[in-house]
Amino acid sequence: MTAFPITHATTLKAPPPDASLKFGTVFTDHMFMMEYAAGRGWSNPRIEPYHALSLDPATCVLHYAQAVFDGLKAFRGTDGVIRIFRPDRHAARLNQSCERLCIPALDPALVEQSFHALVGLEQRWVPKLPGTALYIRPTVIATEPFLGVRPAESYLYYVILSPVGAYYPEGMNPVKILASERHVRALPGGLGAAKTAANYAASLFPAEEAHRLGYTQVLYLDGAEHRFLEEVGTMNIMMKIDGTVVTPPLAGSILAGVTRDSVLTLLKDWGIRVEERPIAIDEVIAAIASGRLEEMWGTGTAAVISPVGELGYKETRHVIRNGGIGALTQRLYDAIVGIQYGSAADPHGWARAVAPATVLA
């Protein structure tokens, strides 16, 4: 593995107690950085003390949102080994997002090494309590101070780490989602398949409206007809109808979740029928009403699996399984969490151990 130059922080912070951790509020002592300049390419990968960025007010990312990010986690296993879940997939996706935003490609091997090197250095920040993790946030921003509308000529790649609490401190908890008849997350040909800041900006207003109505998140429907399921803002959506798991296809307007891919792979391993196909909201409502919809869940790095207990649509609240958790939902959660914490077999080699040489006792 490449050794990156490290400038060590002179004062180290005390990580907060594991039980007090929330999401994304606390950051570790160091960050990874690397810059791009036209004619020079990506250069000077290194680890520095965590610090604020100084940006010219004209920096183009602040005006036109030429920015991408990704999100993955490192886990402290029941055996003490620290493992990162599918870092290769996240590095590859970061590059796919870059391509859509006209950001010069990164070396995916270097991106993966940046995760390992930074987590290896910051391992005392990987929490121990079950369900906790060290969240890894790679980010790329356009840094050129320029107000014209064109791709920038300079960029910053950086990685920050944040210890995060258990998503379900008291066991899996079903969420309520609202299928939006009005708001759209992305359209075919738009930015929906990229993990980019602008998609999140677009999601804030509909999410606030859903919160006011007592829902946790918005289930987006397709932008053209408001008829077919897309995804849940930060999660992909799946359901089991008549024994078959169905999920919307990756047709350009939804994000290709790494958890989505992991779940579909496990389902195929287990011999469960899977269909990636357009799903009309009317079909879902009818399947709930007739009792043919057995389970519904969302998939994403934050929660892994989020059971859906209620689906709102056109002023009606459709309760699923009396708001309880289905057997397949639970099995998928347990299987992926087992792989993440090293307590279950990992036939696909998804959990990548942080090099033992860099792990302190």
Ligand X SMILES: *Cc1c(COP(=O)(O)O)cnc(C)c1O
Beta strand 217-219 with 175-179: parallel, antiparallel or unpaired?
parallel
State in angstroms the smallest separation of the CB of 218 from ligand X. Answer: 11
Q: Is 180 one of the binding residues for ligand X (CB under 6 A)?
A: no
Q: What is the Cα–Cα distance from 65 to 62, expressed in whole angstroms? A: 6
State in angstroms the smallest separation of the CB of 235 from ligand X. Answer: 5
State in angstroms the smallest separation of the CB of 293 from ligand X. Answer: 21
Q: Which of 234, 247, 306, 340 binds ligand X (CB under 6 A)?
A: 234
Element (H, E) at 95: helix 87-100
Q: Is 183 one of the binding residues for ligand X (CB under 6 A)?
A: no
Tell me which residues in 213-232 interact with ligand X (CB under 6 A): 231
State in angstroms the smallest separation of the CB of 259 from ligand X. Answer: 3
Q: What does the block give as tokens for 16? A: 């907060």
Q: Is 248 one of the binding residues for ligand X (CB under 6 A)?
A: no
**Range in contact with ligand X (rule: CB under 6 A) among 52-60, 102-110, 257-265, 341-349:** 257-265
Residue closer to ligand X (CB basis): 165 or 300: 300
* SS3 at position 34: strand
Tell me which residues in 46-75 interact with ligand X (CB under 6 A): 71
Residue closer to ligand X (CB basis): 36 or 228: 228
Residue closer to ligand X (CB basis): 4 or 135: 135
Q: Is 101 one of the binding residues for ligand X (CB under 6 A)?
A: no
Residue closer to ligand X (CB basis): 140 or 235: 235
**Residue 1 CA to chain centroid, in angstroms?**
25
Q: Which residues on neighbouring strands pair with residue 275, listed in sequence order? A: 246
**Range in contact with ligand X (rule: CB under 6 A) among 28-36, 95-103, 119-127, 254-262:** 254-262
Q: Which of 255, 266, 267, 305 binds ligand X (CB under 6 A)?
A: 255
CB-side neighbour CA atoms (13 Å) of 134: 30
Q: What is the Cα–Cα distance from 127 to 15, expressed in whole angstroms? A: 9
State in angstroms the smallest separation of the CB of 255 from ligand X. Answer: 4
Binding residue count for ligand X, defined by CB under 6 A: 14
**How close are the terminal C-alpha atoms of the chain, in Å?**
21
Q: What is the Cα–Cα distance from 188 to 193, expressed in whole angstroms? A: 9
Q: What is the Cα–Cα distance from 42 to 156, expressed in whole angstroms? A: 9
Residue closer to ligand X (CB basis): 121 or 161: 161
* SS3 at position 218: strand
Q: Hey, what's the torsion of the CAs at 178, 243, 173, 340, to 10 degrees? A: -120
Q: Is 299 one of the binding residues for ligand X (CB under 6 A)?
A: yes
Q: What is the Cα–Cα distance from 102 to 141, expressed in whole angstroms? A: 11
C-alpha closest to that of 115 among 140, 135, 132, 95: 135
**Range in contact with ligand X (rule: CB under 6 A) among 127-135, 282-290, 299-307, 317-325:** 299-307
Q: Which residues bind ligand X (CB under 6 A)?
A: 71, 195, 231, 234-236, 255, 257-260, 299-301
